[in-house]
Chain A
């Protein structure tokens, strides 16, 4: 947005610099503890409850999450809070029931495709591993763009070259401490980020409410969104199908199916820690949507009173402009306006550390999947620990380079949250069927697993540029995602009934 000054100053740059260098030092320090792949990927399975909760929340409360959640608050009003509700309730239920995560922890698997291998054979593991890595890397594709928008809006850097340099420097820092320290450094930096960002966001909410007032916030949402800004079931707003999609994605998938969450469960010391982790983290899962969405609403109310910003953010008929980049930038612009010098540096550092933390978790995660679930099984399981670590580190660098290119090239064309959910759906719609039916239905078979994983690929048609490329009329990503999830479950059942595994078929004949 043009013509807006920011409070970000030289002092804040110094705070950011010190904080980021400190996190790299942590990565270098913990490298001394890494002696095998389990230490590197799941921190030697020695993480206790409080640290696991901080790491899970810190990792999930990343800059990208904050940006897309704030954008949803901005574009959807208070109705967007339904996403926070489902994101909080589902992990709580998982904590009490142990649904999916406890059986996975019992099996001692480090990655979800590893489970596929145990349950359906090595072929499904390799196929699932490839799909997971492709979807996972695509899912990360917009992280750098979101980070660049945040840095530009918060700091007031307008020169694209300066922004690119900052983003490249951040990626290099992430690559250094992730390749050196693996999961231990990830967990420690997640903890630091949890502390800084939690208190930073709470402070920002307090300042925003005192500056704007609750009645003004409600009035602004009513003026822009009307009834649909409060009622999530309203057909002009989110609607029932979108809420169902969020229940599946922001609720069930992000807490139990998404590989980074499962890795936290795998890193836990015991099954009891896994259950406690989910019960406590449910508050974090709720808050990671609630606070940024609220700040998004505050940004909406704040900019409605500034004529220049209002004309950029609203169409002549008073609705919000259809530009993902603009609506995403409203939240960091707002932070740059309301936070005082010093505090803005701390919150900025926390957000950039969050950006790095999400990157490190995801880079480590996808590199581990490619090594452990694709390359090692293809080589018949023969690969030394040293070679695995070296390969994982090399892959982290290669993925980093890909992300740099993808974020510059890909036209987003939809809300960031919707991009994230639908790109992730390429993997998780199939994974949902394999995990739920694989764990809780004995007759689930290998053929059913292949069909379910393939059906998940349908989700790619939920991406706006793909819809345009194949000439599809605008179909809601939520509808395509729900169809893909339904198709994966149906094909898993049909494939398993028509083509049972030999052992299951023999068992059935013996029973008869």
Chain B
């Protein structure tokens, strides 16, 4: 039983340690990615509207 307790305590301590590091990286990197996502979707939408407008003018 003591072997199992050792395994689980190492897993718990190691898992929490890695997760703390990952959480910090993901929190910072994720915020930057959100900004990029908004920019890219905004640009895509504006391009689409521009194309639509150009298409309308061409048809006129």
Contact with B along A313-330 (1 / 0, CB 8 A): 000000000000000000
Which residues of A from 1 to 42 have beta carbons under 8 Å from B?
Answer: 30, 32-33, 35, 39
Q: Give 20 CB contacts A-B under 8 Å.
A: A30-B38, A44-B41, A46-B37, A50-B26, A54-B26, A54-B27, A78-B5, A81-B11, A184-B37, A188-B34, A202-B20, A205-B16, A214-B9, A230-B5, A284-B19, A286-B15, A290-B11, A290-B12, A290-B15, A290-B16
Interface on A for B, CB 8 Å cutoff? 30, 32-33, 35, 39, 43-44, 46-54, 57, 78-79, 81, 84-85, 88, 184, 187-188, 191, 194-195, 198-199, 202, 205, 214, 218, 222, 227, 230-231, 280, 283-284, 286-287, 290-291, 294
Known: A230-B5, A290-B15. A48 touches B25 (CB 8 A): no
How close is A325's CB to chain B, nearest CB, in angstroms? 28
- Determine the residue in chain B with the shortest Cβ distance to A81: B8
Bound-state Cα–Cα, A78 to B42, Å: 48
Known: A50-B30, A191-B30. A44 touches B15 (CB 8 A): no
Give the contact-size bracket for chain B.
20 to 34
Bound-state Cα–Cα, A33 to B31, Å: 18
Check B45–A33 contact: CB distance below 8 A.
yes
Shortest 4 CB-CB contacts between residues of A and residues of B: A50-B29, A51-B33, A230-B4, A54-B30
Known: A49-B29, A218-B5. A287 touches B19 (CB 8 A): yes
Known: A44-B40, A57-B26, A218-B5. A50 touches B45 (CB 8 A): no
Interface on B for A, CB 8 Å cutoff? 1, 4-5, 8-9, 11-12, 15-16, 18-20, 22-23, 25-34, 36-38, 40-42, 44-45, 48
Residues of A within 8 A of B26 (CB): 50, 53-54, 57, 194, 280
Residues of A within 8 A of B29 (CB): 49-51
**B12 touches which one: A46, A227, A280, A294 (CB < 8 A)?**
A294
- What is the total of A-B residue contacts with beta carbons within 8 Å? 110
- Determine the residue in chain A with the shortest Cβ distance to B28: A50
- Determine the residue in chain B with the shortest Cβ distance to A88: B15
How close is B25's CB to chain A, nearest CB, in angstroms? 7
Check B41–A53 contact: CB distance below 8 A.
no
Check B33–A48 contact: CB distance below 8 A.
yes
Known: A43-B37, A46-B41. 19 other contacts (CB 8 A): A48-B33, A50-B28, A50-B29, A51-B29, A52-B33, A53-B30, A54-B27, A57-B26, A81-B8, A81-B11, A85-B11, A187-B37, A191-B30, A198-B19, A202-B19, A202-B23, A230-B1, A290-B12, A290-B16
Check B44–A44 contact: CB distance below 8 A.
yes
How close is A277's CB to chain B, nearest CB, in angstroms? 11
**A202 touches which one: B16, B30, B38 (CB < 8 A)?**
B16
Residues of A within 8 A of B40 (CB): 44, 46
How close is A100's CB to chain B, nearest CB, in angstroms? 24
Known: A231-B1, A290-B11. A199 touches B41 (CB 8 A): no
- Determine the residue in chain A with the shortest Cβ distance to B15: A290
Bound-state Cα–Cα, A51 to B5, Å: 35
How close is B26's CB to chain A, nearest CB, in angstroms? 5
Bound-state Cα–Cα, A88 to B15, Å: 10
Residues of A within 8 A of B5 (CB): 78, 218, 230
Residues of A within 8 A of B19 (CB): 198, 202, 283-284, 286-287, 291
Check A199–B8 contact: CB distance below 8 A.
no
Bound-state Cα–Cα, A373 to B25, Å: 37
Check A51–B34 contact: CB distance below 8 A.
yes
How close is B55's CB to chain A, nearest CB, in angstroms? 15
Residues of B within 8 A of A51 (CB): 29-30, 33-34, 37
Residues of B within 8 A of A199 (CB): 23
How close is B53's CB to chain A, nearest CB, in angstroms? 14
Residues of A within 8 A of B36 (CB): 48
Residues of A within 8 A of B28 (CB): 50
